[in-house]
A and B are shown apart, each in its own frame.
Chain A
Amino acid sequence: MRRSLNSLAARAIIVAGLLFPAGEVRGEDNSWIQREDDPWIHIQVVETGADAANVQVHLPLSMVRLALDMAPDEAILDGHVRIENSDISVAEMRRLWTELKAAGEADFVTVEKAKETVRIGRRGQRLLIRVTDSTAGKEHVAVDVPLAIVDVLLAGDGERLNVAGAIATLGAYRGEVLNVQDGQDRVRIWVDEKSGSE
C-alpha cells in the first residue's frame, strides 16, 4: 500500500506538472474558460517517516482539462490513458466493475488472510475498500471513491482509462473524490469552488 500511496503522490505532482507540457490544440471557442464558480481540484498527501513530505496541489479543473489536451499523444490519446505494467488489465477491471455494480449495495469481495482482512463493497454511491489488521482489529487502509467516477474512468474499450471523462464528471461533483488512509499516511482528493487552500 505504501507503494501505491507514493504512486498517488507522484501522480498528484504529475497533474501539477501537466500544467506546462507540450501538445494538442483547443480552438478559439474555448468552453473551459475559468468562471468565478468554476470547480477546483485539491490534492493532499500526508506522509510519515524520516523523509516524509506533505504535498498540496490546488488547481482549477479548467486548467487540468487544458493540460490533458496538451499532453503528448503517447501519454494521453483523446483523454484516455494507457495503463501498463499492471497486474490487472483495464478490460478485466471493466468486467469486474460491471459484475460488482450488478451485485448492488453489499460487500462484493472479502479476502481474509492471516494478518489482515480486505473488504470491497458499495455503500450508497461510493465504492469502499477497507483493509483491517486482523490482530489489532484496526482499519489501516481505507479507500473511498464515488461510483460515478469509476464508471466514467472505465467507460470505452481497449486498455485505456478515460481520464478526460473522469475530469469532466468531476466538474459536476462537489466533495471528496478519493480518500486513502494507510496508517498515518493519507491521500485526499476533493473538489469544491474554493481557490487554493482557503
Chain B
Amino acid sequence: MIPLKLAALAAAPFALAGSVALSGPTTLVVDVREGGAEGMHLVIPVPLLVARAAAALVSEDKARIPVAELQRAQPGARALLAELRRLPDVELVRVQQQRGGGLVRIAKRGDALEVRVRQPSENVKVRAKLPLAVVEELLRRAEDGDLDPGDVVAAFGKAPHGTFVEVEDGEDRVKIRLW
C-alpha cells in the first residue's frame, strides 16, 4: 500500500503540471538581466490569480476602460481573427531602413501575431508575440462595452505557455513569460 501512496505522491506534480498545461498559464514571469560585470538578474514570478485579485482592488470607476468602438467592431474583428488563424505562417509587413539596418516585421507565426523590431544603431531588439487567443478573449470580455484590468489579466490566462515579450537594449535584457 505504501508504494502505491508513494507512486501517487510522485505522480502528483506531473498531474498538476498536466492540468496547468491544459488550463493555460498560471504565472507571469518577468526576467530582468542587467548587463555588465555587476549587473543584477531579477526573476519576478507573478501568479495570475494574484494579479487578478490586485486588479479587482482598483476602484471600479477608475478601472473601467470604455471600448465602445471595439464593441461595435466585434463581428468584423472576429472575422478578421478567423482569417488570421486560417493563414499559413507568413510575413505580412516589413519596413526596412536602407541605412542603419532598422527593421520592423509583422508576421503570423502559429496562433500568434509576431512583431519584431531591430535598431542596430541603438543596439535595440524587441520581439513580441500577441497570441490570437488573447485578442479573442479580450473581444469576448469587451462585449458589454468596457474592459477592466482584471479582464486583461484573465485574457492572458488564455495564452499559450512561453515567452511573449523580449527586449534587448544594449547588454540589458527583459523577458516576460507565461507559465
Q: Which residues of A contact B (CB under 8 A)?
A: 13, 16, 19-27, 30, 32-34, 47-48, 50-60, 62-63, 66-67, 69-70, 72, 195-197
Contacts and interface: CB of A to CB of B under 8 A. Distances in A.
B93 to A, nearest CB: 5
Contacts of B86: 33-34
Enumerate the 6 nearest inter-chain pairs by beta-carbon distance, A residue then B residue, closest first. Answer: A22-B69, A70-B76, A196-B90, A25-B75, A22-B73, A52-B98
A26 B73 CA distance: 10
A66 B95 contact: no
B95 A54 contact: yes
Nearest to B67: A22
A53 B76 contact: no
Q: Is the interface of B mostly helix, strand, loop or mixed?
A: mixed
B95 A53 contact: yes
B38 to A, nearest CB: 38
B77 interface: yes
A88 to B, nearest CB: 31
A54 B102 CA distance: 10
A7 B106 CA distance: 21
Contacts of B93: 13, 16, 55-58
Interface size range on B against A: 20 to 34
Contacts of A26: 75-76, 79
Interface in B59-73: 69-70, 72-73
13 contacts: A20-B77, A22-B73, A26-B76, A34-B87, A52-B98, A54-B98, A55-B96, A56-B93, A57-B92, A60-B83, A62-B83, A63-B83, A195-B87
B13 to A, nearest CB: 40
A196 B90 CA distance: 6
Interface string B114-125: 000000000000
Contacts, number: 90
Given A16-B92, A58-B91, 7 more contacts: A20-B80, A22-B69, A47-B98, A53-B96, A55-B95, A66-B83, A70-B76
B19 interface: no
B41 interface: no
B92 A59 contact: yes
Residue from A16, A33, A63 whose CB has the most chain B CB atoms within 10 Å: A63
Contacts of A24: 72-73, 76
Nearest to A54: B96
A23 B79 CA distance: 12
Nearest to B106: A16
Contacts of A51: 97
Nearest to B80: A66
B94 A55 contact: yes
A22 B142 CA distance: 13
B99 interface: yes
B18 interface: no
Given A60-B83, A195-B87, A69 B94 contact: no
A30 B79 contact: yes
Contacts of B83: 32-34, 60, 62-63, 66
B80 A70 contact: yes
B88 interface: yes
Interface centre among A21, A26, A33, A70 (most CB of B within 10 A): A70
Nearest to B100: A51
Contacts of B99: 50, 52
